[in-house]
Chains A and B, each alone.
Chain A
Amino acid sequence: MTEARTVGLPRALLYHKYHTLWTTFFEELGWRTVISGPTTRGTLERGVGLAVDESCLPMKVFLGHVDSLRDHCDVVFIPRLESLTPDEHLCVKFMGVYDIVRNTMPDLAVIGYDVDAANAVHERSSMIALARQLGAGRLASRRAYDRALTAQRAHERELARLQESLLETGGPHPDRIRILVVGHTYNLADELIGKPIITYLESLGVEVITSDAIDKPLARKLSARLSPGIRWTYNKELLGAVELYRDVVDGIVFIVTFPCGPDSLMGELCQRKLHGVPVATIVLDELQAEAGLRTRLESFVDIIAAKRHARQRCEVGS
C-alpha cells in the first residue's frame, strides 16, 4: 500500500463553515488533511501580492492561505459554490474562486467540487464524484459523503443550540451589556479580521453573540421580514440573526470587509429598518490599524452603557 496522500485546506472563506464536512470526508477516504495556520499579517501580505488589487479582503486572505499550503500537500482543495437552493445564490467570489486560483497559481494542483442547486448540480452528487475521481469505490465514496454530512449537521446543531440556551437563560450575566456581532463566518472566525474585534469587546466586559451560530434555515426565513428581495444565502442568514436577536441585545456591530457589495447594500437596508437599536459598522481593509478600531468599539460600548444607565435612573425615578 502506498503512503496516504495529503490534501491541503486553506483556513479561509468557506472552510470556516464547512471544515467538519470536508475534513471528515477526506479522512473517511483515507487522505491526510493539512490545514493552513491561522491568518497572520504575513498570510495577508502574501495574498495581497497575488490578488487582483480590487479583490475583497477575504479573497486576499484566502489566496495567502492557498499559497502557504504550497509544498505542504499533494493537492489543494478549492470547491466552487454558486447556489445552495434553487432561488438563492451565493456571492460571486465563491463561483470564481476555483478559476481565480488556477489562473493566479497555474503551477498548483487543485481539486474541488461544484454546487449549483439552481441548475441541478448538488453537493451530494458532486462530492461523491470527487471521491470517485480520487480513486475511491462507489460504496466508499457514498459512505464518506454520508458520514461527512452527518458530522456537519451535528456541528451546526451544536452551534445553534449553544446560542439558544444562552438566550433562554438570559446569559450568564444578565446585567452585562450584550452585543450582537454580525458578519460573514469567514470574517468573524478569522484570526486577523473578526477575532480581534470579538476578543476586544469581551475584554470590555461585553457579552458577545455572533450571527453565525444560529439555526440557518430559520434565519433565512426570518430575513424576509427585513428584506423580502435579498437573494444571497449568507446575507439572508445574517439578516435573520439580526431579526432574531434585535430585541434581546443592547447593540449591533456589523463587521464588513472592503469593498463587499452585498454587505454594503444589506447594511444600508438594515440601518433604515432598525429603529431604537444602536448600530456600529466596522469596515475593515488590508491597511487596518488596530488603535483606531479599539477607540471606536470602546466609545460604542460607552454610549450603550450610558444609555442603559440613564434608563435605569428613569425607571428608579418614576
Chain B
Amino acid sequence: MTGKRRVTFPHMGEYWIAFETLAEMLGAEAVIAPRMTRHTLEAGAHVSPEFVCVPFKYNMGNFLETLEGGGADVIVQAGGGCRFGYYGEVQEAILKDMGYEFELVNLIKAESAAQLVREVRRMQPSVSYVRAARAVAVAYRQAQAIEAAEAYVRLNIGFEVERGATDRALNSFLRDLRTTRTLRAVREVRERGLADLAAVPIDKPADPLRVGVVGELYVLMEPFANCGVERKLAAAGVEVHRFINGTSLIAQGVGGRKHVRHALDAAGPWVEYHLGADATESVAKTWELMNAGFDGMVHLKPFGCMPEVSAMSALQRISREHTFPILFLSYDAQTAEAGVQTRVEAFCDMLAMRRRRDASA
C-alpha cells in the first residue's frame, strides 16, 4: 500500500504533539484521539476485561473514540514491562471482534534505536529508512522539549504571582513546538519557550516544600488519569519533582539492564532484587529524596499494579522506620477527582505542619 496511511495512538500527557510530528514526517496522516473525558474511560471500561488495570481502559477509550469518529488504518501501541507488553494483542482482538479494521504496530518490540526505526516504518512502509530515522529524531527532541518545559512548570507553577501566567507561556510554547519539523526549529522553540517560562514572575521561598512523585508510568504521565495530582500538589504551594518521563523510558528500553543495576544500588537495603517495571526505581528515588531532605513523596499506581504493590512493602517500611510522609494513591475506573483533591490537601497541610514543628523545635 503506497497511499497515505491514517495513524492513531493512545494519549499520554502532551506527547501527542511528538506523535503527530512522527506520523506526518513519515508521510502518514496523524489522527489525534479526542481529548480525554469521563466518556473516554467509560467507553473503554465497557469493552475491557473487568479487572485489567486502568491504563488499558483509557487506551481502549482513545481507540474507540478515534475509530468511531472517522477511523484510522494503523493503531500504534507502546509501553513496556509487565502487562503493558501484552496490551496490544488483547486490544487488537477486542476491537477486531467489534468489526473494526486496522493494523496494529506495537513499539514494545523495539530494544535498540535501529529496531525502533524499523518498527516505526511499519506505520508508513513506503518511507525510506533515512526519512524514518529523521522523523524519530525530531519527534524525540520534541518529546524532550515538552519534558523540559513541564519539569520547569512542576517546580514553579505553585509560586506564580499572577495565576494562569505559567500556563499561558506553556501553551504558547506547545503551540509553536507542534509546527516544528527540523532539529534546529525544535531547539529554537525549546530555548525560547524555556526563556518565556523563566520570565514568568514567581514568589518562591528560599526553602519551599519539596515533594517527589513516583510510581507506574502511565498514571504518572497522564494528568487526566491521575486527576491532575501534580497540579494539585503545586497549588498547595509545593515544588513537585518527577523523574520518569517518556524519553527516559525509551532510553532505558534500548539501554539494556544498566538502569536496573543503578536503581538497585540506589534503593539501598530495601530492595535486593529488581521488582519489575518502574517499581525498583520508585523505591530508589524515595530513598534518595528522603536522604536529600525532601518533605514527602507521592506514590501513584493503577489499582492492583503488582510491581508497584511490591514497591509499597518497601515504601511503607521506609515511611514507618524513618517517619517519612508518603501519600499512596491508587487509580481505577471509579476514582473521583474530589477524593484525590481532599487527600492531597490533607497531605500538604501535614507537610507544612511538620515544617513549622521542626522550625520551632
- A residues contacting B by CB (< 8 A) are 52, 54-56, 80, 82, 91-93, 95-100, 102-104, 106, 114, 119, 227-232, 258-262, 264-265, 267-269, 272-273, 283
Contacts and interface: CB of A to CB of B under 8 A. Distances in A.
Contact of A229 (B52, B89, B271, B316): B89
Contacts of B87: 265
Nearest to A80: B273
A265 B273 CA distance: 26
Contact of B82 (A119, A259, A261): A261
A99 B51 contact: no
Contact of B313 (A100, A262, A267): A100
A106 B316 CA distance: 12
Contacts of A258: 51
B146 interface: no
B275 interface: yes
Which of the four size classes fits the interface of chain B? 35 or more
B93 A92 contact: no
Contact of B275 (A95, A231, A259): A95
Interface of B: 48-53, 82-83, 85-90, 93-94, 97, 257, 270-277, 279, 303-307, 309-314, 316-317, 330
Contacts of B307: 92, 95-96
Nearest to A262: B83
A283 B52 CA distance: 13
B274 A52 contact: no
A96 B276 CA distance: 8
B309 A99 contact: no
Contacts of B48: 268
A92 B52 contact: no
Given A103-B314, A259-B51, A265-B52, A52 B94 contact: no
A95 B309 CA distance: 12
A82 to B, nearest CB: 7
A96 B270 contact: no
Contacts, number: 118
A106 B49 CA distance: 37
A278 B330 CA distance: 35
A279 B273 CA distance: 38
B46 to A, nearest CB: 13
26 contacts: A52-B309, A52-B312, A54-B305, A54-B309, A54-B330, A80-B273, A82-B274, A91-B306, A93-B310, A96-B273, A99-B275, A99-B314, A100-B310, A103-B317, A114-B273, A227-B89, A228-B89, A231-B85, A258-B51, A259-B304, A261-B304, A265-B87, A268-B94, A269-B89, A272-B93, A283-B51
A32 to B, nearest CB: 26
A56 B313 contact: no
The 6 closest A-B pairs by CB, nearest first: A96-B310, A92-B276, A259-B304, A229-B89, A268-B49, A103-B313
B272 A98 contact: yes
B281 to A, nearest CB: 14
A258 B53 CA distance: 12
Given A54-B304, A55-B309, A264-B49, A99 B83 contact: no
B89 A95 contact: no
Nearest to B96: A272
A232 B89 CA distance: 14
Contacts of A99: 270-273, 275, 310, 313-314
A54 B272 CA distance: 22
A265 B90 contact: yes
A92 B85 contact: no
A267 B49 contact: yes
B86 A229 contact: yes
Nearest to A98: B273
A52 B86 contact: no
A130 to B, nearest CB: 14
B36 to A, nearest CB: 22
Nearest to A81: B273
Contacts of B276: 82, 92, 95-96
Contacts of A106: 317
A258 B330 CA distance: 16
Nearest to A96: B310
A56 B307 CA distance: 12
A92 B82 contact: yes
A231 B83 CA distance: 9
B300 to A, nearest CB: 13
Contacts of B90: 265, 268-269
Given A95-B273, A99-B273, A259 B303 contact: yes
B94 to A, nearest CB: 7
A262 B86 CA distance: 9
B93 to A, nearest CB: 5
